């Protein structure tokens, strides 16, 4: 079964309570959706409706939030045993004012409470409201967001298993993308076709108990996202107005949602035989990625990978074409700390998971970047993706 066992969440709550003991906290208040997912297996859609989970050092775990989630809670997690709900936002009484009263009911006013978000709730859907710290001024609220992130950096064997499965299905989705990409089609056409086919195959193989953890209808996905031809020189292109055509350099990406965990597979595809100039830059990008990977090992610093990649770029005279660092952590989120960046001094440890993705971007020509999922092991690093990287394997015959 491709989901975390109950014991994994119980262990995380235990570590969270250990954090409370070390910091002298009576409870932790969490409203960040990723934290709710990580510690409780609860997938909350952060709309305008404020919600939070309160984990005390001892006693019941409590949910504050909209009644729309009341019946959904026990379906997702067995760890929340006390529930306080309101009808909707903004309501006759603002939800945060209700939260203040509920804190008093559960005996936490006047205590020391860790919080993952100093705003107490955030949402892209128009939520606004008073700070809980202003409503209960006699209570101490201590930021612990960085501490919670730190707890997520080292992945357990269960987590690594899910990430490896995500890699497997990202591979399947990308194979389909490479199969269907062709001159005359739009990037979104081939992405939709490949993602749907891979998702159906994934669901059928993993069985009826497997389900996604987001509202997306697709559990495996591969895409191009506008990185077509000259627009592939934009690392974060969004779309392109024209269809794919012969001669294009294409930037692709693929992954899959397995128990909420993700991976990263990015490649260049070449529509027809690439020119010598295109081959040259692609080979340089591959050398940069290889250099970054060789620097990834326990005891090294995250900055070592970025520096190694930069040395190759400098050797080949392409530093003016760099646009980003060499990679980032990942897990429940696509980008997580720490980062493979010249300024990141975090020491690499077994169980960390990264993308490895240095790239070069030539205006008017295109972008050259591969990304692969890397797991730091006890004595080295594991290159999890096995998808071909060489130029010839990525040429699409037109």
> Average pLDDT for residues 179-187, to the nearest whole number?
97
Q: Would you tell me the crossing angle of helices 145-153 and 6-23 to the nearest 10 degrees?
A: 140
| Main-chain phi, psi angles of 232, to 5 degrees | -70, -10
**Is residue 123 within 8 Å of 45, Cβ to Cβ?**
no
Q: What is the dihedral of CA 279, 281, 283, 284, to 10 degrees?
A: 170
Distance of CA 309 to the CA centre of its chain: 23
Per-residue pLDDT, 104: 96
Per-residue pLDDT, 239: 84
> What is the rounded radius of gyration, in angstroms, for the C-alpha atoms of the chain?
23
Render pLDDT for 70-88 as a digit per residue (tens, 0 to 9). 999 999 999 999 999 999 9
> Average pLDDT for residues 165-180, to the nearest whole number?
98
Secondary structure (DSSP) of 238-253 = ---SS---TT-EEEEE
What superfamily in CATH does domain 6-152 come from? Creatinase/prolidase N-terminal domain (3.40.350.10)
> Average pLDDT for residues 343-369, to the nearest whole number?
97
**Is residue 265 within 8 Å of 254, Cβ to Cβ?**
yes
Where exactly are the structural domains of the chain? 6-152, 154-396
CA dihedral for 12, 15, 20, 26, sign (positive or negative): positive
CATH number of 154-396: 3.90.230.10
Given a cut of 90, whether residue 323 has pLDDT beyond it is yes
Kindly report the CA angle at 172 between 171 and 178, in degrees rounded to 5? 85
**Is residue 220 within 8 Å of 202, Cβ to Cβ?**
yes
> Average pLDDT for residues 208-216, to the nearest whole number?
82
Confidence of residue 212 (pLDDT cuts 50, 70, 90): confident
Given a cut of 70, whether residue 205 has pLDDT beyond it is yes
Q: How many CA atoms lie within 13 A of 191 on its CB side?
A: 21
Render pLDDT for 270-284 as a digit per residue (tens, 0 to 9). 999 999 999 999 999
Per-residue pLDDT, 343: 98
Per-residue pLDDT, 1: 65
Render pLDDT for 7-62 as a digit per residue (tens, 0 to 9). 999 999 999 999 999 999 999 999 999 999 999 999 999 999 999 999 999 999 99
**Is residue 172 within 8 Å of 17, Cβ to Cβ?**
no
Given a cut of 90, whether residue 215 has pLDDT beyond it is no
Quote the CA–CA distance of 178 and 267 in Å, as a whole number. 10
Secondary structure (DSSP) of 271-299 = ESSPPHHHHHHHHHHHHHHHHHHHT-STT
Q: Which tokens is 210 given?
A: 């497997």
Q: Which tokens is 95 given?
A: 């939800």
Quote the CA–CA distance of 303 and 318 in Å, as a whole number. 19
State pTM to two decimals: 0.95
Q: Which tokens is 98 given?
A: 């209700």
Given a cut of 80, whether residue 118 has pLDDT beyond it is yes
**Is residue 348 within 8 Å of 153, Cβ to Cβ?**
no
Given a cut of 80, whether residue 307 has pLDDT beyond it is yes
Secondary structure (DSSP) of 91-145 = -SS-HHHHHHHHHHHTT-TTSEEEES-TTS---TT------HHHHSTTSEEEE-H
Domain pair 6-152 / 154-396, same fold? no
Confidence of residue 209 (pLDDT cuts 50, 70, 90): confident
H/E stretch holding 53 reads strand 52-56
């Amino acid at each position: 079964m491709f989901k975390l066992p109950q014991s994994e969440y119980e262990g995380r709550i235990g570590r969270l309570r250990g954090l409370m003991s070390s910091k002298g906290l009576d409870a932790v208040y969490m409203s960040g959706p990723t934290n709710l997912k990580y510690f409780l297996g609860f997938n909350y859609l952060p709309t305008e409706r404020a919600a939070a989970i309160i984990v005390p050092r001892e006693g019941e775990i409590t949910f504050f939030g909209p009644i729309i989630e009341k019946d959904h809670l026990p379906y997702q997690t067995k760890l929340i045993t006390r529930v306080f709900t309101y009808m909707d936002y903004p309501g006759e009484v603002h939800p945060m004012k209700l939260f203040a009263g509920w804190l008093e009911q559960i005996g936490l006013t006047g205590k020391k409470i860790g919080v993952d978000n100093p705003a107490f709730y955030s949402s892209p859907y128009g939520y606004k409201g008073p700070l809980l710290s202003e409503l209960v001024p006699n209570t101490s609220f201590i930021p612990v967001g960085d501490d919670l992130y730190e707890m997520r950096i080292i992945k357990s064997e269960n987590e690594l298993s899910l990430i490896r499965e995500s890699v497997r299905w990202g591979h399947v989705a990308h194979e389909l993308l490479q199969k269907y990409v062709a001159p005359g089609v739009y990037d979104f056409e081939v992405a939709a076709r490949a993602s749907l086919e891979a998702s159906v195959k994934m669901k059928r193989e993993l069985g009826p108990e497997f389900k996604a953890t987001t509202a997306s209808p697709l559990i495996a996905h591969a895409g191009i996202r506008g990185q077509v031809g000259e627009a592939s020189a934009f690392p974060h292109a969004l779309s392109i107005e024209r269809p794919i055509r012969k001669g294009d350099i294409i930037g692709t990406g693929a992954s899959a949602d397995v128990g909420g965990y993700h991976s990263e597979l990015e490649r260049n595809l070449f529509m027809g035989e690439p020119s010598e100039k295109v081959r040259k830059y692609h080979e340089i990008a591959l050398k940069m990625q290889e250099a970054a990977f060789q620097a990834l090992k326990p005891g090294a610093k995250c900055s070592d990978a970025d520096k190694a990649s930069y040395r190759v770029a400098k050797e080949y005279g392409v530093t003016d074409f760099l646009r980003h660092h060499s990679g980032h952590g990942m897990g429940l989120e696509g980008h997580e700390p720490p980062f493979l960046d010249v300024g990141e001094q975090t020491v690499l440890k077994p169980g960390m998971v990264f993308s490895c993705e240095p790239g070069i971007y030539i205006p008017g020509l295109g972008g050259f970047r591969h990304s692969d999922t890397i797991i730091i092991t006890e004595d080295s690093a594991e290159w999890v993706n096995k998808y071909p990287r060489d130029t010839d394997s990525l040429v699409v015959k037109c």
